[in-house]
Amino acid sequence: MNDPLIISLVVASYLIGAIPFGLLVAKTMGGVDIRTIGSGNIGATNVLRAVGKKAGATALLLDIGKGAVPVIIAKTLYGTENIITLYCALAAFFGHLYPIYLGFKGGKGVATALGIVAAWVPIAGAITLFIWIAMAKTFKYSSLAALTAFATLPFMLFFLEEPTPMSASYVLTILIYWRHRANIQRLIAGIEPCIGQKSESS
């Protein structure tokens, strides 16, 4: 970790992950500050509810991309199982959760984590996305879909024999659950808003 290239790559991964695309998309396409609407979260789900489907989809794809790009670069330079790739993946993820540009108040990490997994282990990313879509279509809850998809991720990577991505997946899953703790409480209480439903909480 004393190599300036490695340090620069990890820092750049954090700064890329920290780009608040949800906030930027909502301002550009809807003329609103997403932090003052609905849940106040900068993620794609809140953008969807506040601005609409096109803006929500744009924010989703950009958040996926900012997770994928650092991993693609690190994976190309160092390989799938190298710890440097793990550092870059987690740096991008923490960037989204705790962005320096917004006083370390970021999103919940689902789309960025999906981008990380898809770039790192494509088959695991595809399965995770499939589970999310299937759960979202069946139950209409974005939070439940994300929680279910990422609960399966460590097991999936274990069976795929991907030890370094599996190690990172524990961090991704635990923090996604932590960031969704209010959603979990609302799911239990039966008051969690459905996908696309206007709400003051998300």
pLDDT per position as a tens digit, 137-173: 999 999 999 999 999 999 999 999 999 999 999 999 9
Q: Are 92 and 14 in contact (CB under 8 A)?
A: yes
Cα–Cα distance measured from residue 41 to residue 81, given in angstroms and rounded to the nearest whole number: 33
Residue 174 contacts residue 90 (beta carbons within 8 Å): no
Per-residue confidence (pLDDT) for residue 34, from 0 to 100: 93
- Spatial distance between the Cα atoms of 182 and 202, rounded to a whole number of angstroms: 8
SS3 159: helix
Q: What pLDDT does 38 receive?
A: 82
Dump pLDDT digits (tens) for 73-85. 999 999 999 999 9
Closest CA to 27 of 35, 39, 19, 18: 35
Domain boundaries, the chain: 4-189
Q: Judging by beta carbons within 10 Å of its beta carbon (0-12, 13-18, 19+), is residue 185 exposed, middle or buried?
A: exposed
Residue 77 confidence (pLDDT) = 95
pLDDT over 50 (residue 202): no
